[in-house]
Amino acid sequence: MARYENIVILTGAGVSAESGLGTFRDEGGLWAKFDPMKLATPEAFEADPDTVLGFYNARRANLADAKANAAHFALAELEQNWMLDGRANYLLVTQNIDDLHEQAGSAGLLHMHGELLKTRCTRCGHLFSDREDMTRERPCPGCGKAGGLRPHVVWFGEMPLGLDQIYAALDRCDLFVAVGTSGTVYPAAGFVAEARRGGAHTVELTLEPGEISDLFEETHYGPATEVVPHWVRGLG
């Protein structure tokens, strides 16, 4: 197997599914129960902040006892070995807003859709780790004013985070791996095409073929806790 130097991994909700956190578009997924346009847009927050904050408070509470699974640990182990082998670059881009990659020890990690366990003040911009409920009455620990707290999560219609860093990494990578993502939401769904343009080998590790599966040169289907550790062990 070729020796790769620059890897970019993209994860989606499927990598956290076996930790008990729901996905979005599978049977019974989050967007089957809730309307994202009423809960995950700036307009929804403007119109009904209490409902939007309540939705994210519930998801934050649900995260409290979620544990990283074998797929998260396999990716953290891959990172450690990658660096120990003296290979050039490793970047793990996640669309997930949970903290399971951190729990497993991932370091070179970029949350392009933000983080559920961080709160931001829309008045002063103060950004802080937070496991408490967000309410309109709660004062910002930065400016002391109430009424400005929101989850540090990227909503539909907002710019994902870290895109400059991501595209620079995609242009230079020789290995691109997508784990547990349906490939339905851009710009993440376009990363595989970007990696191919740069000549990277492309791998999809997910439960079943999705919208962009035919863009991957190598695909392995099955639960992430089986497919990811197996693939990592087989990597040259």
User: Per-residue x/- marks for ligand APR, 68-87, CB under 6 A?
Assistant: --------------------
Say if CB 203 and CB 176 are below 8 A apart: yes
154 to each of 139, 157, 162, how far by Cα in Å? 22, 8, 12
Q: Considering only residues 7, 10, 13, 175, which one is a binding residue for ligand APR as defined by CB under 6 A?
A: 13
Say if CB 153 and CB 41 are below 8 A apart: no
Q: Shortest gap between Cβ of 167 and ligand APR (angstroms)?
A: 18
* Bridge partners of residue 218, in order along the sequence: 203
Q: Structure tokens of 94?
A: 């996640």
The yes or no reply on residue 124 touching ligand APR (CB under 6 A) is no
Of the two residues 97 and 149, which places its CB atom closer to ligand APR in the complex? 97
Closest residue by Cα to residue 156 from 186, 126, 134: 186
Report how far residue 108's alpha carbon sits from residue 94's, in angstroms, rounded to the nearest whole number.
11
The yes or no reply on residue 35 touching ligand APR (CB under 6 A) is no
Q: Shortest gap between Cβ of 236 and ligand APR (angstroms)?
A: 23
CB atoms within 10 A of CB 106: 23
The yes or no reply on residue 129 touching ligand APR (CB under 6 A) is no
Q: Structure tokens of 82?
A: 């990658």
The yes or no reply on residue 23 touching ligand APR (CB under 6 A) is yes
Angle at 58 between CA 56 and CA 64, to 5 degrees: 105
* Bridge partners of residue 206, in order along the sequence: 221
Q: Shortest gap between Cβ of 71 and ligand APR (angstroms)?
A: 7
User: Per-residue x/- marks for ligand APR, 175-214, CB under 6 A?
Assistant: -----xxx-xx--------------------xxx-x----
The yes or no reply on residue 162 touching ligand APR (CB under 6 A) is no
Active site residues: 113
Q: Structure tokens of 197?
A: 């343009």
Q: Which residues bind ligand APR (CB under 6 A)?
A: 12-14, 17-18, 23-26, 29, 95, 113, 180-182, 184-185, 206-208, 210, 223-224
